[in-house]
Chain A
């Protein structure tokens, strides 16, 4: 009997180990392929991400405008999307009547499953004209003193892409944050109430702080989604490889560059440039994840493991 169990155990351990190693192997293969196939432009070194020239005849390919576009649209998405997401999460976990919690959570999670091309179409047909003619002119009249809101308003631009990214990010960030908040033990809430805290004070003094690692993780998952998002951004950003001062001008991102130019990449240098853009995309996401992990470890340092039970 005992021997039979240990045999099952070792098969199980082998299977789990094999699956885990597959992840490591896949990651190595990713990086290997990306590096091998971008060898031509990798030789130009850092100029690839610090220069703005894109000239097929001369064979010069530099992606600073695209990197800028990815960073700026993701930043807009985070700035607009994270506060809303955390608000939704707090509502669902702390305020929402019990009977409504499940149906509303279900709707939020369903929004995360809407294909990004649908978000892109909706952004193009519904949101973009509304923003261009109704919202941006008003925003400009109040905030026009800032260079980022000055000048001509284009139909497709950084801001519109960023806003749609924010909307796409909310369901996923909200639902992960909600799970983190709901995992906070009630004893923490009771401790706050017993000191005379109101509901919102209890959320601020104990619940949010306790759930902070999970909320940070959700924000970085949201960032990853926005930074790598391709379809919707390609449809909304305008495809101009520039670094304009204004967010109302069209731009380009790394992901949309890859999507729109891979079919044209006929020369080895061109092809290599597009693949290196993918490598940059992967590296930034990778570094963002490392940063998130480090931050979470720092935040949770000194806490007893039991306090998470």
Chain B
């Protein structure tokens, strides 16, 4: 699994630590453009750590470090002179618990990232806000009161708002860290439908502890265990004919 020109992102021999504790061991993985890749594995297997290394969020936790490379369009995002803020604009992220800005209106939440990069044109901001809210199927539900606080929405609506906020800065890759784990089944179904539509434009990488979800939304699936990548392939192959006995035991629910 070496770096290839066809991949949008590659993790190359990635190791990551929290203090003295190593969380990732020599992980190499290619992420295919315009596809959904799911990371599965039991709690503590390193799947969240891995995606947090893909947009340099890992280093925000004190006393952490990594070795290895992460390529975005063949450029190492950890090379000298690479700006973490630029990386994060190109590789957006949606978190486990919806985290809208409670002091901002719905509109301001969506365009928060755009304002950060200096867009001041009111007309353009309103337009982008509307487009993004439509893209995450939230527009119809909120259009009558866009001045409401982002925190006044339901959990599922908040998560779609957070996705809209991530999309508004026009990233190339979207990372999702268990985006449905705090949501009910109906809200989850809406987000999954949304993920399927996102891959037309973006490369999507999603962490999930829910194997059915991986099977439903992902084109590729990576199974991780104790910080190592055990198996990676097309989702149907990983679930139906896993090559590693460990993967088979996990996807058939014998442990986890």
Contacts and interface: CB of A to CB of B under 8 A. Distances in A.
A170 B173 CA distance: 45
B165 interface: yes
Given A205-B112, A210-B102, A302-B149, A196 B117 contact: yes
Interface residues of B, number: 30
Interface string B31-64: 0000000000000000000000001010010100
A201 B103 contact: no
Interface string A163-198: 000000000000000000000010111111111111
Given A98-B62, A187-B95, A201-B116, A195 B89 contact: yes
Interface residues of A, number: 26
Nearest to A208: B103
Interface string B135-172: 00000000000001101100000000010011001000
A10 interface: no
Q: Which 5 A-B pairs have the closest CB atoms?
A: A195-B113, A196-B89, A209-B103, A187-B99, A194-B93
Given A206-B101, A302-B149, 17 more contacts: A189-B60, A190-B57, A190-B93, A191-B100, A194-B55, A195-B89, A195-B166, A195-B169, A196-B86, A196-B117, A197-B116, A209-B101, A299-B103, A302-B148, A303-B102, A303-B103, A303-B149
25 contacts: A98-B62, A190-B57, A190-B93, A190-B99, A191-B95, A191-B101, A194-B166, A195-B88, A195-B112, A195-B116, A195-B169, A196-B85, A196-B88, A197-B85, A197-B116, A198-B85, A201-B116, A205-B112, A209-B103, A210-B102, A212-B103, A302-B148, A303-B152, A306-B151, A307-B151
Interface of A: 98, 185, 187-198, 201, 205-206, 209-210, 212, 299, 302-304, 306-307
